[in-house]
Structure 1
Amino acid sequence: MNAPGGPERVALPAGLADATRLRAALDQDLAPPALHWLRESRARVAAEPAALAGLFPAVGRRCGRGVLTTLPDWLTEDAARTVLLLALPPHDAGLPPEAASCYHDGDAEERRAVLRALPLLDAGDGGLALVEDALRSHDTRLVAAAVGPYAARRLSPGPWRHAVLTCLFTGVPLTAVADLERRLDAELVRMLHDLARERRAAGRPVPPEIPPLLEHFARR
């Protein structure tokens, strides 16, 4: 189900690289052999989508696992895998089935890359099942990737609120949650109040990110 007002093509928020910037960052950082491999692989995926299954796992070994110099919010392997996903032809169902397969058949790093690519793919609601699966995993790498711009635009209010709570329960910083202040509503505030009260009653610390959120909502 779409979040209210969500467009069919997800708008990219400030700070998240679009496809052109992502490719430019890779062009700058990758050594010539890795860049040549990535360009050849991208062309191969565009011509033969089934080839992605064999190329996707090889990205970390071929392109490296460091942080991009000009886009430090991106790991090189996530960016390179996103470039391969963007080479897939559009699909009537939104998310190309080859992209979904890369998630379901991949390890945690490969799954994280698919989740990070969702805002850049014209996936419609086709990626929601992947986001929901990642949130159920409680793997902090996947949870942090799942609560990005795609979830902010596509998750309906109930699942989105529970995604925020999942971050708190798993220790994922709320800075990972895209558009948190925009989507903060009275029901989530109530849930945060309840969580803080339960923590205090149990003699446990309240997550330090909760009070500023409650204060922000009170000032609106």
Structure 2
Amino acid sequence: MTPDQLRAALRGVPDPDWLDTALRAVATEPATITRFFPAAGRRCGRHDLPALPGWTADEAARALLLTALPTDHARYADVLYQQGDAAERRAVLKALPLLPVGTAGVPLLHDAIRTNDTRLVAAALGPYARHLDPAAWRQAVLKCVFMAVPLAGVADVDARADGELAVMLAGLAAERQAAGRTMPDDAIDLLDRLTAGRATIAGPAGGSDRADARSDRLSAQEA
């Protein structure tokens, strides 16, 4: 994702002149972003952007405003997140990978992941989540499973998922089986991929164990 892609996707927003004016103002007077940022939903709309799946017009406009800042990106990202409503916070989280903030935005991810807002949690697990340490990232993925947040939206999930996450997922599956509850299909699929990798290393016996484990999970969910 780049600012140019965001700008292209926003062609035809309800008030393009307002957006152009806001971007110029923020580039020359950074403090004005605190006035323009909340207004983006009303001036640019809140509709989904077909050219940017997963983004809405207000999120894209707000991300552009943050990229227009000449300096202090981390400070303004923190201020706008702390003062913003849920939609504004999602925009800040989605903008983080586009900003030169290093790891300064990680506390915002931790805050979002602690909430029960599924859209905030999903936004926190985007590309910027590469800055989360492994333990925090695993806990965040497990929370996605608890909240039925689609794992397809978790950036780099297959690359980062490991044996420890497999153990956590297996434990959750066992708890839900005992309670007569189901696991989301994407979580079962991820666990299968992780145990498949371990079985490949362990040899044929591991494959048999994996098949038995999947059969047990499916039987529990069908019961």
Distance 1:204 1:215 in 2: 18
The alignment's TM-score, normalised by the length of structure 1, stands at 0.86
Q: Letter of the aligned partner of 2:118 in structure 1? A: T
Q: Letter of the aligned partner of 2:13 in structure 1? A: L
Q: Kindly indicate whether residue 127 of structure 2 is the aligned counterpart of residue 130 of structure 1.
A: no
Cα distance, 1:73 vs structure 2: 2.2
Contact 2:113–2:124 (CA<8 Å) still a contact in 1? yes
Aligned to 1:18: 2
Cα distance, 1:207 vs structure 2: 2.3
Distance 1:99 1:88 in 2: 10
The alignment's TM-score, normalised by the length of structure 2, stands at 0.85
Q: Letter of the aligned partner of 2:77 in structure 1? A: A
Deviations 1:16-56 (A, max 9, x none): x31111111112x324xx11111110111111111111111
Runs of 4 or more above 3 Å deviation: none
Cα distance, 1:216 vs structure 2: 1.2
Work out the percentage of aligned pairs sharing the same amino acid.
51
Cα distance, 1:154 vs structure 2: 0.5
Contact 2:22–2:36 (CA<8 Å) still a contact in 1? yes
Aligned to 1:110: 88
Q: Letter of the aligned partner of 1:110 in structure 2? A: E
Secondary structure of 1:198 counterpart: helix
Cα distance, 1:218 vs structure 2: 2.8
Cα distance, 1:215 vs structure 2: 1.8
Secondary structure of 1:138 counterpart: coil
Q: Kindly indicate whether residue 170 of structure 2 is the aligned counterpart of residue 193 of structure 1.
A: yes
Uncovered stretches (5+) of structure 1, i.e. residues with no partner: 1-16
Aligned to 1:160: 137
Aligned pair partner of 1:120 in 75, 83, 98: 98
Q: Kindly indicate whether residue 191 of structure 2 is the aligned counterpart of residue 206 of structure 1.
A: no
Q: Kindly indicate whether residue 49 of structure 2 is the aligned counterpart of residue 68 of structure 1.
A: yes
Contact 1:111–1:142 (CA<8 Å) still a contact in 2? yes
Distance 1:78 1:43 in 2: 18
Secondary structure of 1:209 counterpart: helix
Secondary structure of 2:10 counterpart: helix
Q: Letter of the aligned partner of 2:16 in structure 1? A: L
Contact 1:88–1:96 (CA<8 Å) still a contact in 2? no
Cα distance, 1:206 vs structure 2: 2.1
Distance 1:35 1:53 in 2: 19
Q: Letter of the aligned partner of 2:155 in structure 1? A: A
Aligned to 2:63: 82
Contact 1:68–1:75 (CA<8 Å) still a contact in 2? yes
Uncovered stretches (5+) of structure 2, i.e. residues with no partner: 198-223
Q: Letter of the aligned partner of 2:106 in structure 1? A: L
Aligned to 1:13: none
Number of residue equivalences: 197
Answer 1 or 2: higher relative contact order, Cα 8 Å, separation at least 6.
Answer: 1
Contact 2:151–2:187 (CA<8 Å) still a contact in 1? no
Q: Letter of the aligned partner of 1:128 in structure 2? A: V
Contact 1:63–1:76 (CA<8 Å) still a contact in 2? yes
